[in-house]
Amino acid sequence: MNTLTKRFMPISLAILLACMVFQLSGCATTSAHPRDRQSIAGKTYVITGASSGLGRGVAMELAANGANVVLAARRTAVLEEVAAQARAAGGTPLVVTTDVSNADDVQSLAQETVARFGRIDVWINNAAVGAIGPFWDIPLDDQAKLIDINLKGVIYGSHAALHQFRAQGFGTLVNIGSVDSEVPHAYQASYSASKAAVLSLGRTLNEELRLSGNKNITVATVMPWAVDTPFWTHTANYSGRSPTFPLMDDPQKVVDAIIGISLHPKEELAVGWKAKASYAGHHIMPDVTERFTGNVAHKSEIETGPPAPPTSGALYEPMPSGTTVSGGMRERSSNRASQGRKNERDTAQENARPARDQQ
């Protein structure tokens, strides 16, 4: 057992205990029960960031249950591919090329949806990008562009959705936050700031809806742990290492949670035990949780992983790579770990050989 493990084991146990308390408090992960899927048929869902990752996964699940899925992202050709698959699965797709950092694009997305389907039942603000590295090493323009996408894009989408919801008298807005909405993430400062703002926005909007008497409109913020999607391929990266994070979640877990909360709206949802533990631990021991998370981030994002050149990722232009739901990060991390263990065994055997030769 290494020094870092010994030092933080009590903290891990405390956070795990907090997780148990959190789960017992009734904040378990929401997912769609098979019986609930029947209510999806014929509903209209707007999904930003639908060309890959969670957005694509949600779109395909909804289509398989007969929903109208409005697919929004910058990569038109990829959206057409998703639309073909959605149509084959039984859904009715509409492709609307959208840059969420452009307010006019988002307004057009809402208008084209209503023109085609007559209403919007659920709007999912999912599109987001990352920027990894020490805050001072990430160019200011990159950080500003991240805020344009992750925060302004959610504000634009929320504004368009709520105007339509208030006109029709109902609707559910689902904003995809992150565990970083609650717990600051070292080496992802602007990303954490954007996701914290998304959580605050949702809380504020729910209060305004309550005060205005809009009982049939809900804003939900979904907060997953790190998820194995192409997000990590698309992220801007100035850490000097290939991006990774330990114990990534399967995207299907988060896809199910997003669909579940669209059917049974609630204001906030931390997805999975790791996100719940972090969320609860930060409420109970904020400084300890932040230090623990910071040390994990330093180990995984600064010290571990093969060297990588700086890149702005998909901040300014969409990337051709990374069009699937899963990002393959867990498999690559497992392979690197296996190779590392093999190298350690080979080195140990090589070091032992001279000693045997001298006998």
pLDDT in tens, 56-89: 999 999 999 999 999 999 999 999 999 999 999 9
Tokens 């029709």 sit on residue: 168
Q: What is the pLDDT of residues 22-40, one digit of tens each?
A: 443 434 444 555 557 789 9
9 pLDDT exceeds 80? Answer: no
Residues in contact with 10: Cβ distance below 8 Å, sequence separation at least 6, in sequence order:
none
Dihedral, CA of residue 150, residue 253, residue 305 and residue 294, to nearest 10: 60
pLDDT of residue 332: 63
Q: What is the mean pLDDT of residues 165-191?
A: 97
The verdict on 298 and 354 lying in the same domain is: no
According to the model, what pLDDT value does residue 259 have? 97
Residue with the bigger pLDDT between 21 and 82: it is 82
Contacts 24+ apart (CB under 8 A), 280-286: 280/15, 280/18, 280/19, 280/21, 280/22, 281/14, 281/15, 281/18, 281/19, 281/183, 282/182, 282/183, 283/18, 284/14, 284/18, 285/11, 285/14, 285/15, 285/18
Same domain, 111 and 242: yes
pLDDT of residue 38: 80
Q: Do residues 101 and 127 touch, judged by C-beta distance below 8 A?
A: no
Same-domain pairing of 188 and 96: yes
Q: What is the pLDDT of residue 68?
A: 98
Tokens representing residue 305 in the block: 């992983």
CB under 8 A, 24+ apart: contacts of 80-87 = 81/323, 82/50, 82/51, 82/56, 85/60, 86/59, 86/60, 87/63
Provide the mean pLDDT of the chain.
Answer: 88
Task: Give the mean model confidence (pLDDT) for residues 188-196.
Answer: 98
Q: Which residue has the tokens 């057009």?
A: 108
Task: Round to whole Å and give the CA distance between 52 and 48.
Answer: 10
Contact present, 158 and 175 (Cβ < 8 Å): yes
User: How many other C-beta atoms lie within 10 A of the C-beta of residue 128?
Assistant: 27
- Say if residue 67 is in the same domain as residue 97: yes
| Strands 217-224 and 171-176, sheet pairing | parallel
Q: HSE of 130 in the Cβ direction (CA atoms, 13 Å)?
A: 26
The tens digit of pLDDT for each residue in 155-174 reads 999 999 999 999 999 999 99
pLDDT score at 126 = 98
Claim to verify: residue 300 and residue 336 sit in the same structural domain: no
Residues 152 and 17 in one domain: yes
Per the model's pLDDT, the better-predicted residue between 255 and 344 turns out to be 255
Q: Are residues 169 and 181 located together in one domain of the fold?
A: yes
* Tokens standing for residue 53: 């990752």
305 lies in the same domain as 338 = no
Sign of the Cα torsion 40, 42, 43, 47 reads: positive
Question: What CATH number is attached to the domain comprising 88?
Answer: 3.40.50.720
Residues 6+ apart with CB under 8 A from 109: 46, 48, 70, 72, 96, 98, 157, 160
Residues 322 and 307 in one domain: yes
> Same structural domain for residues 318 and 334?
no
210-269 pLDDT, tens digit per residue, is 999 999 999 999 999 999 999 999 999 999 999 888 889 999 999 999 999 999 999 999
Q: Are residues 153 and 29 in the same domain?
A: yes
**If pLDDT is split at 50, 70 and 90, which confidence band does 297 have?**
very high
Q: Which of 249-253, 302-306, 335-339 has the lowest mean pLDDT?
A: 335-339
Q: How far apart are CA 257 and CA 223, in angstroms?
A: 10
Integer Cα distance of 12 and 111 in angstroms: 48
Say what the pTM is.
Answer: 0.86
Confirm if 260 and 32 have CB atoms less than 8 A apart.
Answer: yes
Domain check: are 218 and 275 in the same one? yes
**Spatial distance between the Cα atoms of 244 and 188, rounded to a whole number of angstroms:** 12
Q: Domain total for the chain?
A: 2
Q: Which domain holds residue 349?
A: 328-359
Known catalytic membership, residue 316:
no
Q: For 29, phi and psi rounded to 5 degrees?
A: -60, 130
Tell me the torsion sign for CA atoms 65, 69, 73, 75: positive
User: 191, 238, 279, 316: which one is catalytic?
Assistant: 191
- What is the pLDDT, as a whole number, of residue 354? 53
